[in-house]
Amino acid sequence: MAAESQKTFYLETFGCQMNVHDSEKVIGTLISEGYRQVQTVEEAGLILYNTCSIRDKAEQKVFHRLADYKKLQAQGKRFGVLGCVAQQEGEKIFERAPFVSLVCGSASYRNLPQMLVQVEAGKQRVTGIDDRETDECFETEFTARSNPHRGYITIIEGCDKFCAYCVVPFTRGKERSRTSESVLGEARQMAALGYTEIQLLGQNVNSYHDPAEKKTFAELLSAVSEIAGIRRVRFTTSHPRDFGRDIVEVIDSHPTLCDHVHLPVQSGSTRVLDAMQRLYTRDQYLERIAWMKAAKREISITSDIIVGFPGETEADFEQTLSLLDEVEYDGVFGFKYSPRPNTPSLKLDDAVPEAEKARRLSVVQEKQREIQRRRYQRHVGQRLEVMVEGKNDARGQWIGRTSQNKVLNFVQRDGVSPVMGGYVSVVTTGSFPNSLLGEMVI
């Protein structure tokens, strides 16, 4: 018993929601192996980083962390690198940081128990790296979900799209879908545990193909949203190429499906989209936007934009700006193009200078801020349902989230205190470019 409780770990997570959810699986697995999670590196015997490699800055973070804590190795602590940098760099990590004893990509998390026994026994250089051909999904036996109300479910792993700039097909392996039966089983289990919101995850959720019953993505959405007890279903990220009208129709007919779609465009120029190998044109993208705008429910649309892809001219960039005006997104994540290992665009000439990338990014952000100012303002006066996510005591406000995924801060009604994870109705009284303000009505 004493020996068991001495096994402690610290885990820091970088990157996307898939990584966040993978960390929940890693934590569940470690706890089932008798480890205890601690909140500081100092308290921990085992220090793990679940890493992201999407842009150079993200990758550098893990090496900075490792350099910061190198001195702790003398205290007998062990270090492990998990996730996308682990998969991408493999054993090279041991050369760069010799005090690391575990390197493990996401497809190998199910083998963590055996790997940890080796690490604990003092073995150096324990690896779990997969080739791109693995068919295994990354389900682990245990998952320690950090939020008791909203839970993630991975429905599809990996990516076969190979956009010219992107590491994901190399770090997450080939595309493979879970059976709808196993997804629905997990969703029902979560509903039984009291979860009311489910978020379906995948690099391209809508490329989902049920390997057994042949359910389409839209059919899966409708089945999950019909589970008793589930009040909200979200899904991210959708790829424009595989975005069919049936998805809009199912959102329209199922109020449990949240009225929000994240549909990254990356660029407004067909020429750049072609160089990026995104598999759609500007017009095809805008056609999908038109389907959503014609829906009976108002669907909130958000996007990702990359500026400064090699060869992006001023005229191409203007096309991205005009697309922002045309679509009027409710949110945009903008990124400067970052050259990544293994990716085809590494070989392209005509790099856009760093200062120009920075300028383009700030132009995108400024324009989008003005668009959002308008977009958020139109909610003023509306009555919206929010899930209660937190409380800001200093301001005397509660923090809620609307179905459209917008933050709505609100004051409670006298004598009626909202509960965390509960749903309340709020009348919107004010707006900012990134949040709303309101008063609770029920």
Strand duo 383-392 + 397-402: pairing: antiparallel
Give the residue, chosen from 62, 116, 166, 305, that forms a contact with ligand SF4 under the rule CB under 6 A. Answer: 166
Please tell me the distance from the alpha carbon of residue 16 to that of residue 409, in angstroms, as a whole number.
Answer: 25
Question: Between 97 and 107, whose beta carbon lies closer to ligand F3S?
Answer: 107
Give the residue, chosen from 9, 10, 16, 201, that forms a contact with ligand F3S under the rule CB under 6 A. Answer: 16
Query: CA nearest 79: which of 66, 60, 63, 61?
Result: 66
Identify the three-state secondary structure at position 125. coil
Identify the three-state secondary structure at position 121. coil
Give yes or no for a contact between 148 and 35, defined as CB atoms under 8 angstroms apart.
Answer: no
Read off the tokens for 421.
């994870």
Identify the three-state secondary structure at position 435. strand
Please tell me the distance from the alpha carbon of residue 43 to that of residue 40, in angstroms, as a whole number.
Answer: 6
State yes or no: residue 11 binds ligand F3S (CB under 6 A): no
Give yes or no for a contact between 414 and 396, defined as CB atoms under 8 angstroms apart.
Answer: no
State yes or no: residue 23 binds ligand F3S (CB under 6 A): no
End-to-end CA distance of the chain, in Å?
49
Q: Which residues in 216-275 contact ligand SF4 (CB under 6 A)? A: 239
Read off the tokens for 87.
């998969």
Read off the tokens for 290.
């038109």
Q: What residue ranges bind ligand SAH (CB under 6 A)?
A: 54-55, 165-166, 168, 203-204, 237, 239, 264, 266, 304, 306, 335, 337-338, 340
Residue 169 binds: one of ligand SF4, ligand F3S, ligand SAH, none (C-beta under 5 to 8 A by kind): ligand SF4
Q: Which residue is nearest to ligand F3S (CB)?
A: 15
Beta bridge partners of 177: 156
Count CA within 13 A, CB hemisphere, residue 419. Answer: 4
Shortest distance (Å) from residue 74 CB to ligand SAH: 37
Pattern of binders to ligand F3S over 62-91, x per CB under 6 A?
Answer: ---------------------xx-------
Give the residue, chosen from 18, 230, 233, 276, that forms a contact with ligand F3S under the rule CB under 6 A. Answer: 18
State yes or no: residue 331 binds ligand SF4 (CB under 6 A): no
Host H or E run for residue 9: strand 8-13
Give the residue, chosen from 162, 311, 385, 429, that forms a contact with ligand SF4 under the rule CB under 6 A. Answer: 162
Residue 18 binds: one of ligand SAH, ligand F3S, ligand SF4, none (C-beta under 5 to 8 A by kind): ligand F3S
User: Which residues of this chain interact with ligand F3S, rule CB under 6 A?
Assistant: 15-16, 18-19, 52-54, 83-84, 167-168, 171-172
User: Which residues of this chain interact with ligand SF4, rule CB under 6 A?
Assistant: 159, 161-163, 166, 168-169, 203-204, 239
